[in-house]
Amino acid sequence: MKSKIRVLHALTITVLALMAFCDLSHAQNITAAGKVTDASGEPVVGASIIERSSETATITDLDGLFSLNVPQGSELEISCIGYSTVHAQAAANMNIALEEDKLLLEEAVAVGYGTMKKKDITGAMVSVSSDEITSTPSNNAIEALQGKAAGVVISTAAIRPGSVGTITIRGTNSIAADSSPLFVIDGIIGQSVDLDMINPQDIESIEILKDASATAIYGARGGNGVVLVTTKRGDSGKVTLNYSGTVTLDKIYDKVPSMTAAEAIDWRRWGYYYAGLGPRADEPTLATDRSLFTYYGPDETAWANILRGWDLTWDQWNSMSEADRADWSVTHKWDGSKVATTDWTQFSDRIGVTQEHSLSASGGNENFNGYVSFGYLDQQGVNLGQDYERYTIRASFDAKPVKWFRMGGAVNTRYSVQELAINNSDYLHSKARRIFTYALPYDENGNIIDFPGGDYTRITTIVGELGNSATSNQSYQISASIYGELDFGQIWEPLKGLTFRTNFGPQFSLYQHNMYQSAQSVNKKYEGTDYVESQGRKRFSWLIDNILSYSREFGDHSFNATLLQEAWAREDLMMYNMNGTGVALGMTQTWWGLNTSTVGTLNTTKDALYFNDLTESQMASYMARLNYSWKNRYIATVSYRYDGASQLGEGHKWAGFPSVALGWRLDQENFLKDVSWIDQLKLRVGWGMTGNYSVGVYSTKPTMDTVTNVHKGEGSVNYYTPGALANQALGWETTTQYNVGTDFAFLNNRISGVLDFYYNVTNGLIFEVTLPSVSGFTETDDNVGIIHNKGFDFTLNTINITNSELTWKSIVNLSYNNNEIIELQNGKEDMISDGLFIGQPIHVLYGYQTDGLWTESAEDLAEMAKFNANGHLFEPGMVKPVDQNGDYKIDQNYDRVVLGNTTPLWNLGFTNTVTWRNLEFSIFLYGAFDYLATTSNAQTGRDNVSRINYWNENNKVGADYQKPIFGTAGGDPFYDSLIVRDASFLKVRQISVAYNLPRKFVNSLGLNNIKISAQLKNPFSIYQGTFWMDSDLGSGTYTKGLVFNLNIGF
């Protein structure tokens, strides 16, 4: 990998060296002069005139006049915001007329099962172009969408390499069902993970459909929005090659560092003191320290390190008489600075180096074109033992063998390997943070200490973990999209506008998971036994669409009608799933060789399990859609989709989903048509219904549970009992959506944007309900409950400055979303055990409010006495919960309340891009506001603690956390009130600088373009509601990165 990085660096240096020595001689110059006007003859002020070969430029004055010294015979490019660009040969007296640019509104965008012009769109949607996607390097398309679409929230993937983030469009409309949108890649339905097989460099555009009038054409699948991904195809003309190379350096950071050894020792001493087991932390005794720091088990190396603060050894202490010890205790004082502090993250962290390379080729003619690309990603995690490697190949073609028939196809393949040291939600870094910093990794003989600190049931070392555990996830995926299209108008003129298209999309994936943990690994050291598991899965799915479309214009009328028949099926096969304990494979052996014969011989005295399963699901659909426009002014879209899903019960498998949307282009009305500063003004209103059937494949079938019990004292036997009750009446979740919006553009498109308000009602929530015990069953899935979801999306694009040399553009994406539970299983009753409350959002925190900490004031002492008279044991420095009903009893039935929402109500993305000549600077700010999060800094266990501001005898004013009490959970039962904090934040997520090498120099090399860029990831936060976590990642751990990128066009 290092060699690949050196090659990339060498290429960059070579390009810069060539630039330094290139020929800068000029041909004979002339003065090009003239006037730039619009279609009505009015002067155009501020138009840019650029001579591209020399990058010489100027702008027109208040009269539209310009003058520019350029090489004779050169070509000028004349452009201005809101007008079409014109190219003309330089001359002494030029008259240039610019026409209003209508291309933006005429541009076709994907809307599902076809395309529409932007001006005719009636639904709420957003389109993200290829340039926007690749403007900031990212490892997958989901990351590339961050902050680029209002109402679309990207949850950043975990720090673990190969992880893919999640997308939520306009909040959550369901409690139990999946809230992920539908992903459609080149017309083929997939999942978010499928985007990982698409190199971001291969994406032409991503359209996000947000309201039901846009998504109802996908029926049940479109309930949470639709993400349409269109990949690049070949272009007619000569063959072009493009290369993109990126190198990223990432480093892991903690928002709050761990305590030093001396700080951790003091923290534990205070806990011992407040438990009544020892003296004050600032008045320690060696005898008490021995009892405290060997309480859970001795670690003599850690104890010897602590003794450095006492300036003696344990042997010296043991050799003293009682009288000598008494004298020594008077003359010797504790000095914590002498105790060595271990940074355990040195054994878990590293600089993560990621490199990504992609090479594509495109070309063709009017009858055939093709596109092929290769991508390679090598992502090294910031945690040791975590790596991800991915290879992608994509090839597509489009052919028109005869004028009435088109055909084409695309194949995407991906092979990836994800290596993980620890296979759970934890990271090696967080394991390192748990170990006390006064403990040492090695004893005096250089041997690894297995239980640093002496806590034999809680804390294990991470040193050498890479030799004790490993996880490997291998994935191979191939998908295809094949189409054929008949144009009947080319066969018979009266059928002009009638087309029939068939799409077929098969997809196959193979997944293999293997894990080995030795008895010395972090997760198995307590048990003292080896563990191995191996799992293999494969999936095959196919989709076929038959689409009949008819599009015509008759005078002032234009319409497009679409009929669809669709079938989809998927088969998921667990080929094998086996595991065993007490397995002595060793790290040098592979476990892919495990099979049914070897599982039984792994160890006859230990458990060995083997099983597999098969699930199948199908879906059939029919859809009709009509788009109508009169005078390019009044627009209507009507659709109806009828879906059937195999997962649901008999008599409930089919459902229909209608939608209606209207649009009014006010800018085309006579009373606004001549208003020069209005370029676009459209009102939209939409209504529609979508569904959700995200339940298990066999949720409507009865299940059996396995129970193990002792039979007649002769040992354990397995027997079967009824499990979940079958509900044949289980049907669809149905969401009715209302949307009102406007599209606008003013001042020659220098100000443009979109504003949408929406209101959704979801009925028949699919939810697991509890059954009475007399039924003999515990639960079943049923359609119960109602949720309301409302909010708005706002996008504003501005061109703040534009001239021949300088351009400054800004993009603001602001969204608000809030949902509310209206009904649940028992109507208007809260489901407290499930954390669901009528009138509240779906995701909330429920618990005790806090009024800070109890103090030693007379008022607090009097209040504590009243509580303690009722059985409480409050003391100064403990958490002060709020007594909601004023009875001086803190009771879970009466004093717990909903504390707040755990999902942001507001999301903000703000991008500024400044271009000066060939230099481009961009900064991206992202923020989320008005929500809560929880922290682990609660002093709730026996682990190491972050450097927190806790209450003690020397810090009674302004403490953030309660006093520690040894042997209890954080000091009192109400500690968790303090871990709930405001999670609002505003951060700079990206800063990038890019430079396009001068065209003349690039062309002299026989190239089309060279662009180099550098980017800072997560450089700093502007505002953070809580100091202990990066709310953007939802963790106290985050990464910063430095990215270098090189793009070359041949």
90 and 128 share a domain? Answer: no
Q: Which helix (H) or strand (E) holds 378?
A: strand 368-380
Distance CA 873, CA 875 (A): 7
872 domain-assigned: yes
CATH of the domain at 228: 2.170.130.10
158 and 115 share a domain? Answer: yes
Nearest to 305, CA basis, from 464, 460, 453: 453
Distance CA 888, CA 869 (A): 9
Beta strand extents in 459-530 (DSSP E only)? 469-487, 498-517
Confidence at residue 87, expressed as pLDDT on a 0 to 100 scale:
85
23 and 122 share a domain? Answer: no
Distance CA 816, CA 929 (A): 10
Taking the chain, what is the end-to-end CA distance rounded to the nearest angstrom? 25
User: Which of residues 101, 116, 135 is at a domain's end?
Assistant: 101
- SS3 string, 720-736, reads EEECCCCCCCCCCEEEE
177 and 93 share a domain? Answer: no
67 and 115 share a domain? Answer: no
856 domain-assigned: yes
170 and 47 share a domain? Answer: no
117 and 46 share a domain? Answer: no
77 and 121 share a domain? Answer: no
Confidence at residue 338, expressed as pLDDT on a 0 to 100 scale:
96
Give helix 261-274 / helix 286-293 axis angle, nearest 10°: 90
CA torsion, points 136, 139, 142, 147, in degrees to nearest 10?
A: -30
User: Which of residues 978, 997, 1029 is at a domain's end?
Assistant: 978
Contacts of 575 (CB under 8 A, 6+ apart): 536, 537, 538, 612
187 domain-assigned: yes
Cβ–Cβ contacts within 10 Å for residue 1044, how many?
Answer: 19
Instruction: Go through 528-541 and write b for each residue having 16 or more CB atoms within 10 A of its CB, e for each that does not.
Output: ebbbbbbbbbeeeb
Query: 3-class SS at 832?
Result: helix
Residue 102 buriedness (CB in 10 A; 0-12 / 13-18 / 19+): exposed
Confidence at residue 589, expressed as pLDDT on a 0 to 100 scale:
43
910 domain-assigned: no
Average pLDDT of each block of 10 consecutive residues along the chain (1050 residues)? 40 37 50 84 81 74 84 83 80 84 60 75 83 73 78 73 81 80 83 74 86 80 84 83 93 86 94 92 93 87 94 91 89 93 92 93 90 94 89 93 94 91 68 90 92 80 83 91 94 94 94 84 74 88 94 91 94 85 54 42 46 84 94 93 86 89 92 88 93 74 68 62 72 89 92 95 82 71 87 95 89 94 86 89 92 94 95 92 94 92 93 92 94 72 79 93 75 76 91 91 88 92 82 73 92
Distance CA 765, CA 788 (A): 11
86 domain-assigned: yes
Give, in order, the Cα–Cα distances in Å from 162 to each of 55, 166, 472, 888, 960.
42, 13, 12, 52, 37
96 and 128 share a domain? Answer: no
Cβ–Cβ contacts within 10 Å for residue 281, how many?
Answer: 21
427 within 8 A of 522, measured Cβ to Cβ:
no
Furthest CA-CA distance within the chain: 116
How is residue 980 annotated by DSSP? E
Give, in order, the Cα–Cα distances in Å from 834 to each of 772, 839, 844, 902, 934.
17, 15, 11, 15, 18
Distance CA 404, CA 400 (A): 8
420 within 8 A of 404, measured Cβ to Cβ:
no
- Identity of residue 955: N
How is residue 138 annotated by DSSP? -
137 and 57 share a domain? Answer: no
378 domain-assigned: no
Count of the separate structural domains present in the chain: 3
Q: Which helix (H) or strand (E) holds 428?
A: helix 428-433
Query: 3-class SS at 853?
Result: strand
Q: DSSP states of 179-233 as a string?
A: -PPEEEETTEEE-GGGGGGS-GGGEEEEEEE-SHHHHGGGGGGGTT-EEEEEE--
Residue 943 buriedness (CB in 10 A; 0-12 / 13-18 / 19+): middle
Please state the separation of Cα 407 from the chain's center in Å: 36
Domain range for residue 960? 844-898+937-978
Plot region of 668 (φ>0 → left; ψ -120 to 50 → alpha; else → beta): alpha
8 and 66 share a domain? Answer: yes
Q: How many helices (H) and strands (E) does the chain have?
A: 15, 48
Please state the separation of Cα 930 from the chain's center in Å: 20
113 domain-assigned: yes
Contacts of 714 (CB under 8 A, 6+ apart): none
Encoded tokens for 998: 């001068």
User: Which of residues 236, 262, 280 is at a domain's end?
Assistant: 236
Enumerate the β-bridge partners of residue 656.
642
161 and 221 share a domain? Answer: yes
- SS3 string, 606-659, reads CCEEEEEEEEEEEEEEEEEEEEEEECCCEEEEEEEEEEEECCCCCCCCEEEEEE
CATH of the domain at 82: 2.60.40.1120
548 domain-assigned: no
Encoded tokens for 260: 């030093």
Residue 671 buriedness (CB in 10 A; 0-12 / 13-18 / 19+): exposed
Give, in order, the Cα–Cα distances in Å from 352 to each of 143, 426, 906, 1017, 1041.
18, 18, 32, 13, 9
116 within 8 A of 635, measured Cβ to Cβ:
no
Encoded tokens for 858: 């007379």
pTM for this model (two decimals): 0.84
Please state the separation of Cα 204 from the chain's center in Å: 21
Residue in the structure block whose two tokens are 């310009």: 66
